[in-house]
Amino acid sequence: MFASTSRLLDAILAVAVVIPLSVTGIFSFADSAKAESLIGDFQLSNGFTTSPSIASSLVELSATSLIFSPQPVTPISLSAQTGNFLAFNTANIGNIISFSPLSADNPFLDFGQTLIPGIVQSSADTASITDGINIFTLKSASYALKQSGQNIAVDVALDGFFSSGDETKSQGAGNLTFQINNAQVANVESILSSGGSVKNLAFSGGLFTTTSIPEPATLLGLGMVGGVMAMSRRRKNQDNTINIAEM
């Protein structure tokens, strides 16, 4: 009886010591990830450059790629931001998406601030949107053409992950959309399949975060707590069995 009670007390003491440390570690890592991960959503639209020359941000569609201009910096304006994205009003979009096989100018989006959302007025405006901090990396992309009245709606599906300043990652997805006016899908498909392209298209879209990618230390902490609790249950069951038998 005393032996079983002693084992139970040992188990309780072990759990009392280990669980607070493990849980503290988990909440510490979880709070850090929550604080630093880019979480939320936003809408985007083509921006505008005034220097070194005046140019609107546009996209060119071919059968195998999207090419954004002007280069090397293609500003886009952010709006309707939520979460961490409220800290940004502008981003630089990667200049090229190549389809099948996929390759892209990554980071595909580099978030920052300009004096006027989406407008680059001087080289100073590009500092935060070309620094490789707070970015979206593209992992997959595909596009589809759909007839919409006398126009063609082009939808580009995007999937990848956001990285914050401390490289904490969160999964993300979204779309780019644009129109080809006064055109039929069959005619545009013929142009694209023959190696041609459709140029000077304004674009818009939106992206959002889906889930945070857990840090390895967080997963380790969860495993430790699970193991300790399982050990506690086993010892408790053994002790209960001994006590019942002795009674």
* 13 & 42 share domain: no
Q: What is the pLDDT of residue 26?
A: 40
* 14 & 133 share domain: no
* 14 & 76 share domain: no
Q: Which range among 8-17, 93-102, 121-130 shows the weakest confidence by mean pLDDT?
A: 8-17
**Section 115-123 average pLDDT:** 95
* 65 & 183 share domain: yes
Closest CA to 130 of 71, 58, 204: 71
Q: What is the pLDDT of residue 102?
A: 86
**Section 42-48 average pLDDT:** 97
Say whether pLDDT at 95 is over 70.
yes
CB 170 within 8 A of CB 209: yes
* 26 & 76 share domain: no
Over residues 49-86, the pLDDT tens digits come to 998 889 999 999 999 999 999 999 999 999 999 999 99
Average pLDDT, the chain: 82
- Cα gap 110→123, rounded to integer Å: 15
**Section 28-53 average pLDDT:** 77
CA distances from 174 to 23, 44, 213 (A): 35, 11, 17
> Quick one: pLDDT band at residue 189, thresholds 50, 70, 90?
very high
Say whether pLDDT at 247 is over 80.
no
* 91 & 208 share domain: yes
**Section 23-31 average pLDDT:** 41
Say whether pLDDT at 23 is over 50.
no
**Section 177-203 average pLDDT:** 97
Percent of the chain surpassing pLDDT 70 = 71
> Quick one: pLDDT band at residue 214, thresholds 50, 70, 90?
low
Phi, psi of 104 (to 5 degrees): -150, 155
Q: What is the pLDDT of residue 231?
A: 53
* 81 & 162 share domain: yes
> Quick one: pLDDT band at residue 29, thresholds 50, 70, 90?
very low
Domain count, the chain: 2
Higher-pLDDT residue of 48, 32 = 48
Which three-class secondary structure state does DSSP give residue 227? Answer: helix
pTM: 0.73
* 29 & 67 share domain: no
Bridge-based pairing state of the strands 58-62 and 90-93: unpaired
State the residue range of the domain holding 144.
38-212
Cis peptide leading into residue 107 (ω within 30°):
yes
* 87 & 166 share domain: yes
Say whether pLDDT at 90 is over 80.
yes
* 117 & 220 share domain: no
CA distances from 70 to 30, 55, 214 (A): 40, 7, 37
Q: What is the pLDDT of residue 51?
A: 85
Q: What is the pLDDT of residue 6?
A: 52
* 27 & 47 share domain: no
CA distances from 231 to 104, 117, 193, 217 (A): 49, 56, 64, 21
Q: What is the pLDDT of residue 25?
A: 47
* 92 & 177 share domain: yes
